[in-house]
Amino acid sequence: MSDDPGPSALAVEIAGLCKSYGAIKAVDQLTMTVPSGGVHGFLGPNGSGKTTSIRMLLGLIPADSGTMRLFGEPVPQRLPQVIDQVGAIVEQPKFFDTFSARKNLALLAQAIGAPLSRVGEVLEQVGLAGRERGDFRTYSLGMKQRLAVAATLLKDPQLLIFDEPTNGLDPQGIHDFRATIRQLADGGKTVLVSSHILAEVQQVADTVTIIARGRTLAEGPVATLLAAGSDPVRVVVADPQRATGVLQAAGLGVQPAAGALLVTRSDGPLDPAVVARTLGEQGLWVSELGVQRRNLEQVYLELTGTVGGAA
């Protein structure tokens, strides 16, 4: 093995990507960097441009401008050279209703030139082994989704791209899907997974790109994003209205949150003791106090300025 990671140290590189539909800027100067290996979350609310970006990356629709690379190769120019290394689920894949999972996969393997021996292997990988015989139309949504993932694995690609893969799945299905993509990543694959549910991806992603209105807001390791800024102090008091006034007068940021107040400092970490003392000095006694660990959703709200503290 060479020490030189070479151009393919990055599975995906996107810069300055733009796409408009009439007056709508679906994707607006998007940047995304996906390292090789691991799970990368592509996060943004509904309509923020995730599917449009993925479709451009896969050459399904043309970009207006910008550059995209897969494994260091510029796409769409060199897509034919790299596409065998990519498996993707972008929209509902078509399977034959009256064929079993095994037969559907066997047909697909033939069509794309994958060895038939892969069929059994991928059924095993997605946890469909032993359940692959009934007709496709009798499968639950979760089984259909496993089959879709199995189909992307037939060619044993390096990069898997799943667009909103957990839509419609129940909590067990979501949990199983997470375990599957974790396993793929642990086995050396790169998994790019889009979602509008930030908390869901936080549990499995190593790195993320957070977008809104077609633009990249933040990128990097999840741990780094969660560490930046400071975790709020969660406090419960009998008179939250007066407490809010007192804390704000002391220069702190205050957000109501389900029977409690979330208190932040704009210039750095906040010591819970400071909150207790500030309130105590005004005769306000604290019944609960603790630091609330932020999640990606809170980071997102801060980035978009929907929550107090952001500029």
Ligand X SMILES: Nc1ncnc2c1ncn2[C@@H]1O[C@H](COP(=O)(O)OP(=O)(O)OP(=O)(O)O)[C@@H](O)[C@H]1O
Which residues in this chain contact ligand X in the complex, by CB under 6 A?
A: 21, 24, 26, 44, 46-52, 164, 196
> Shortest Cβ distance from residue 88 to ligand X (Å)?
14
Distances (CA, A) of 253 to 30, 230, 258, 267: 31, 12, 16, 11
Give the number of other Cβ atoms within 10 Å of residue 304's Cβ. Answer: 15
Residue 126's closest CA among 142, 113, 111, 110?
142
Rounded Cα distance between 187 and 225, Å, is: 25
Output the smallest distance, CB 47 to Mg ion, in A: 8
How far is residue 247's CA from residue 117's CA, in Å, rounded to a whole number? 66
Q: Please choose which of ligand X, Mg ion, none residue 26 contacts, taking the beta carbon within 5 to 8 angstroms, the exact cut-off set by kind.
A: ligand X
94, 108 contact by CB (below 8 A): no
- Using alpha carbons, select from 110, 262, 89 the residue that is nearest to residue 180: 89
- From the list Mg ion, ligand X, none, which binds 44 (C-beta under 5 to 8 Å, kind-based)? ligand X
Nearer to ligand X, 24 or 238 (CB): 24
Residue number with CB closer to Mg ion (125 or 195): 195
**153, 86 contact by CB (below 8 A):** no
Residue with smaller CB distance to ligand X, 51 or 125: 51
Give the nearest distance from C-beta 21 to Mg ion in angstroms.
14
H helix or E strand, kind and range, residue 129: none
How many residues sit close enough to Mg ion to count as binding (CB under 5 A)?
Answer: 2
User: In the complex with Mg ion, which residue's Cβ is closer, 52 or 202?
Assistant: 52
Which of Mg ion, ligand X, none is residue 264 near (CB under 5 to 8 Å by kind)?
none
State in angstroms the smallest separation of the CB of 55 from ligand X: 8
Return the residues of window 40-69 that contact Mg ion according to CB under 5 A.
50-51
**How far apart are the C-alpha atoms of 286 and 237, rounded to whole Å?**
5
Spatial separation of the C-alpha atoms in residues 137 and 236, rounded to whole Å: 52
Q: Judged by CB under 5 A, does residue 125 bind Mg ion?
A: no
Spatial separation of the C-alpha atoms in residues 284 and 294, rounded to whole Å:
26
CB of residue 208 to ligand X, shortest distance in Å: 14
Q: Which does 47 bind (CB under 5 to 8 A by kind): Mg ion, ligand X, none?
A: ligand X
Q: How far is CA 191 from CA 7, 10, 109, 180, 268, in A?
A: 18, 12, 21, 10, 34
Q: Which amino acid is at 245?
A: G
195 vs 298 by CB, closer to Mg ion: 195
278 binds Mg ion (CB under 5 A): no
* Minimum separation from the CB atom of position 267 to Mg ion (A): 38
Using the minimum distance from each CB to ligand X, give the nearer residue, 49 or 232.
49
* Residues forming the site for Mg ion (CB under 5 A): 50-51
